[in-house]
Amino acid sequence: MSFLQRKPATCLVLLVFISFLYSLPAFSQVLKPAKWSSELSDRHPKEGDEATLIFKATIQEGWYLYSSDFDPELGPMVTTFTFEPNNDYELIGNIQPVDAKEKYDELWEGNYTYFVGHAEFRQKIRVKNNELSAIKGAYSYQVCSDIDGQCIPFEDDFIFNFAGAGNKKAADVSALEKNSQQIDGSLSNKKQTDIIPQPDADSTNQASLPISLWGIFLIAFVTGLTALVTPCVFPMIPMTVTFFLNSSTDKGQAIRKALVYGFSIILLYTVAGTAISLIFGGAALNSFSTHWLPNVIFFGLFVVFALSFLGLFEITLPSGFVNKVDQQADKGGYYGAMFMAFTLALVSFSCTLPIVGTVIVLASGGEIIRPVVGMLGYSFAFAIPFTLFAAFPQWLKSLPKSGGWLNSVKVVLGFLELALALKFLSIADQVYHWNILDREIYLALWIVIFTLLGLYLLGKIRLPNDSLLESVSVPRLMLAIATFSFVVYLIPGMFGAPLKALAGYLPPMHTHDFNMPLLAAQQTSMRNNVALTKETQCEPPKYADVLHLPHGIDGYFDYNQALACAKAQHKPVFIDFTGHGCVNCREMEARVWSDSQVLERLKNDYVVVALYVDEKTTLPETEWYTSSYDGKVKKTIGNQHADFQITRFNNNAQPYYVLLNDQGQLLKKPKAYDLSVENFVQYLDEGKALFAKGQTLADHPLADKH
């Protein structure tokens, strides 16, 4: 399942998707995923009255906005509001987010709150003077994308005008909405010649498929195909096809009834997914991954599902209810075909309930639409064979006969459910620091579970309802080899191996008590750092007291300083537009930059400069300047870096990687979030080769289409 979750799409789907991206016109890459507006609870407050300032944001689909009520030291950028001092009013308490969602993040190792679709913040004030005319201030926030891994910080000003004594006709419209309109207008007025080539389509969207709706659909589709080969479902195929053939006068009518039957299955399961989504809602579904209670409940449910699949007991529905539905199916016609679909769902309940439950839980992800899409994919796969076999009954002869292999499928699913159950307990354990399922304990349990699965596949273990296995078939042997290979892969993890392929499923490394490589890696990093500092650093980097590069990389945090060093050493420049609160920046550093091939190239072939766009350090006034983009004075390190990214590269999302020669000219198209080490190595190698040849992107704009 883990492989399918990471790479659920076929090559064809991926190629079509990339082709679609390349067909889009080369519009600006400067994004504004959230548009703000505001309102007042009372336009005419008097001295002593209380009023509420209401801030609202509309967030584009596929993006989320961090809230204001979690630990600012966690990592992501907390939304903040600052109010200019004014003796005419006073703040009552702190800004309050309305109905923010909560989630635990393994990378940050803590809970954060966020908004999807719409955000709202409220600040209460008390009026101290009837002459109050306006409340001014500023806000800062960060939005991130679920689709391509980008994160963008923003800062802007606001003003609330009151219809008080000094401003009778003033409206309560704030500058939030005006600023948004100005930015949108400036984007539409940008000249086409100002737009640099877009990031590689394949790299920008490398990470989109595992979390997209298409990914959910395909995972659920494969799961539906798996459900077909369970003991409760597989024998129903010839039985139901025979039903349609016997109740139809001709082949055409049989096909039509089969289609009604198939669509009824899809409708039945999709309606079930919709009902669950509407009952629980997006916020409740999201709590599956954040709160201890639902996680513990699902841990228990998955253990129950596993024990049922392993043969300890069987989950069944009341026979009377099933018989009544079956009687309706016997009436025949299209009405009977619809009830036959209902009968199939009920008869296969004991096998499909755990699988359907798994699809809904894994697909939820805090959004209402995902379980619906998951159930649609599951039911589509479930309905296809019945419809096809009804249309082509001669295919029934090619079906394998029912037998003990069906129960083996059920048992294998039981082992997988048992392994998957640990994930839910692990989440609760990490959030509430119970320390009962640390990384090595988790790995030990997985090693035991999958070892037992391998022994079962080889016939060394027999469970209830299993038939005697006289010989091991070749497919069964291959599955056993794959299972034991997975166990061998897990074993080094007990001694501190990172097991990057399972990073999203295992507890974080800091919970691992027996980490042998850690000290050696730290010592090696320190030695390399000392050696490289003498060779690659031209002068002490600015802001090194507050900013840092990962993995012992020796670089800079100021573009001009890095460019001067590149000229001195005749090396290309690697710009890393990043941020303290950029989750995907940290993931790139942990999973891609840490690779020895990438790390070697960054340390030896480039002058690296990390430009933090959300760094709040205020620069000396002599270094302030007014942006040509939005006309605002840029006072902080982060504001200047963000402005540099927009004005120079027409992009405002992070992570964003740019390769320049020592004259500051673009070597290749900038690169975004891409977890492929191979792609990143190729990107760095091509940039180095172009620099050696003295070529830039301007010399080969049409050839650079990787």
- 508-556: per-residue pLDDT in tens? 665 676 655 544 544 554 444 444 444 445 889 999 888 888 888 999 9
**pLDDT surpassing 50 at residue 105:** yes
At 536 the pLDDT is 47
Pairing of strands 101-105, 656-660: unpaired
The number of folded domains in the chain is: 4
CA distance 163 to 402: 79
**Residue 2 counted as domain residue:** no
Q: Are residues 408 and 388 in the same domain?
A: no
CA distance 106 to 98: 25
Name the domain boundary from 492, 514, 536.
514
**Residue 183 counted as domain residue:** no
What phi-psi label fits residue 332: left (phi over 0), alpha (psi between -120 and 50 degrees) or beta? left
pLDDT digits (tens, 9 = 90+) for 629-659: 888 899 999 889 989 998 898 888 888 999 9
**pLDDT surpassing 90 at residue 55:** yes
Cβ neighbours of residue 691 under 8 Å, at least 6 residues apart? 571, 572, 659, 661, 662, 667
**Residue 10 counted as domain residue:** no
- Single pTM value for the model: 0.47
Q: Are residues 611 and 657 in the same domain?
A: yes
At 312 the pLDDT is 84
> Mean per-residue pLDDT for 355-369?
57
**Residue 202 counted as domain residue:** no
Q: Are residues 271 and 386 in the same domain?
A: yes
Minimum mean pLDDT range among 132-141, 144-153, 573-582: 144-153
Q: Round the average pLDDT of the chain to a whole number and report it.
A: 74
Q: Are residues 630 and 498 in the same domain?
A: no
pLDDT digits (tens, 9 = 90+) for 170-206: 444 444 544 444 444 443 344 333 333 444 433 333 3
More confident residue, 450 or 514: 450
What the block records as the tokens of 306 is 């596993």
Q: Are residues 168 and 217 in the same domain?
A: no
pLDDT digits (tens, 9 = 90+) for 376-421: 887 788 778 777 776 666 666 666 655 566 678 778 878 988 888 8
Q: Are residues 241 and 390 in the same domain?
A: yes
Q: Are residues 50 and 165 in the same domain?
A: yes
Which residue segment(s) compose the domain that 70 sits in? 34-173
**Residue 694 counted as domain residue:** yes
Count CB atoms within 10 A of the CB of residue 251.
Answer: 13
- CATH number of the domain to which 557 belongs: 3.40.30.10
**Residue 580 counted as domain residue:** yes
**Residue of 177, 168, 161, 176 lying closest to 88 (CA atoms):** 161
Name the domain boundary from 453, 482, 514.
514
What share of the chain has pLDDT > 70, as a percent?
64
What is the separation of C-alpha 565 from the centre of its chain, rounded to a whole number of angstroms?
Answer: 37
Q: Are residues 310 and 238 in the same domain?
A: yes
pLDDT digits (tens, 9 = 90+) for 456-465: 999 899 888 7
What CA–CA distances, in Å, run from 681 to 248, 594, 673? Answer: 62, 12, 14
- CATH number of the domain to which 85 belongs: 2.60.40.1250
**Residue 420 counted as domain residue:** yes
What CA–CA distances, in Å, run from 9 to 206, 208, 371, 379, 550? Answer: 11, 10, 18, 18, 32
At 367 the pLDDT is 53
Q: Are residues 522 and 501 in the same domain?
A: no
Report how far apart the first and last C-alpha atoms of the chain are (Å, whole number).
Answer: 30
Burial of 143 (0-12, 13-18, 19+ CB in 10 A): buried
> Mean per-residue pLDDT for 480-487?
95
Q: Are residues 416 and 486 in the same domain?
A: yes
CA-based R_g, the chain, Å: 30
Name the domain boundary from 459, 485, 514.
514
Q: Are residues 241 and 301 in the same domain?
A: yes
Q: Are residues 484 and 578 in the same domain?
A: no
More confident residue, 90 or 398: 90
Give the total residue count for the chain: 706
pLDDT digits (tens, 9 = 90+) for 547-569: 888 888 999 999 999 999 999 99
Minimum mean pLDDT range among 95-99, 196-200, 232-236, 348-352: 196-200
CB 109 within 8 A of CB 167: no
**Residue 47 counted as domain residue:** yes
